[in-house]
Amino acid sequence: MQKRFLMCRPTYFAVTYKINPWMDPDAPFDTSLAISQWESLVSTYQELGYALEFIDPLPSLPDMVFAANGGTFIDGKMYTSQFRYAERADEAPAYRDWAERHGFEAHEAKQVNEGEGDLLTVGDYLLAGTGFRTAHAAHLEAQEIFGRPVVSLQLVDPRFYHLDTAIAVLSGSRGEKPANIAYLPEAFSAGSQEALRRLFPDAVIATSADAEVLGLNAVSDGHNVVLPVQATNLAEQLKKAGYNPVPVDLSELRLAGGGPKCCTLELRG
Ligand code: ARG
């Protein structure tokens, strides 16, 4: 099944506020480097044969490049985002408009949630993060909208504030091999670690060095895994587990706390 992604060019990328520990508004950033790195992610996806859609970036929204936070799209339905911080609030209606113009049935969120940043689809169910951004109550809201069982997971390390910085879904969509993930156990509470061990006994276990370069912020089609080039140990582990790591360099976007997965919103028809 062909992957279809929504992306947003980082035309107005900047680090002007701090809503996660990666961001330092006093440090320099280079918007043109962010754009060229993002363009190489786009070419990588094109070479892998994925279908890409683009949403227009808006000038006062420097984090809009992180499309994964724009909503959750499953079975032709879209669950809108409701951002935790005011700085990103206006992204939600922009993504909702895009969804409606492209034939998705939008369901307005009542609960705070940051889209696929915290709601990861694995086969027929969802792994849902809470602790920093998405409210626990949003997990039930997502379950009611999509009718898919949700497994709630408690994040405990502020550096890994979104679930997609602590877990990479490797496989599990229809037609792929059995569901599997890569993750950093210490990013989760003890109970959530135990739950992940039960669900995924064969998971690829990342090191903190992998996670500290946002190595888990990866995009997999079940075989190819697009991940930050700096995550060399994780790439080795993935190879041993039979995957094909595809490295990309998004170092400039990491200054805002984002990697390849953050730039990628999967559209599931
Ligand atoms: N600066 C953005 C924020 O803190 C980064 C978002 C990264 N996105 C993600 N899916 N992890 O909201």
pLDDT of residue 176: 63
The type of residue at 92 is A
Does residue 263 have an active-site annotation? no
CB-ligand 1 contact for 70 (6 Å cutoff): no
C-alpha to C-alpha distance for 125 and 123, rounded to whole angstroms: 6
pLDDT of residue 178: 81
Q: Rounded to the nearest 5°, which phi and psi values hold at 92?
A: -60, -50
pLDDT of residue 1: 72
pLDDT of residue 175: 58
CB-ligand 1 contact for 257 (6 Å cutoff): yes
pLDDT of residue 114: 98
Q: Is it the case that residue 111 has pLDDT exceeding 90?
A: yes
Statement: the pTM of the whole predicted model exceeds 0.85: yes
CB-ligand 1 contact for 258 (6 Å cutoff): yes
Name the pairing type of β-strands 224-228 and 219-220: antiparallel
C-alpha to C-alpha distance for 147 and 143, rounded to whole angstroms: 5
Could you tell me the distance, in angstroms and rounded to a whole number, from the CA of residue 18 to the centre of ligand 1? 11
Q: Is it the case that residue 47 has pLDDT exceeding 90?
A: yes
- Percent of the chain scoring above 70 in pLDDT: 99
- Number of residues assigned to the chain: 269
Q: What is the DSSP letter of 153?
A: E
The type of residue at 15 is V
Structure tokens at 221: 């089609």
Q: Region 231-239: what's the mean pLDDT?
A: 98
User: What average pLDDT does the structure give for the chain?
Assistant: 97
C-alpha to C-alpha distance for 120 and 118, rounded to whole angstroms: 6
pLDDT of residue 174: 61
* 255 neighbors 22 (Cβ within 8 angstroms): yes
* 253 neighbors 262 (Cβ within 8 angstroms): yes
- Tell me the pLDDT tens digit for each residue of 125-169: 999 999 999 999 999 999 999 999 999 999 999 999 999 999 999
Q: Is it the case that residue 52 has pLDDT exceeding 70?
A: yes
Catalytic residue among 8, 139, 162, 263: 162
* Sheet containing strand 224-228, strands side by side: 219-220, 224-228, 244-248
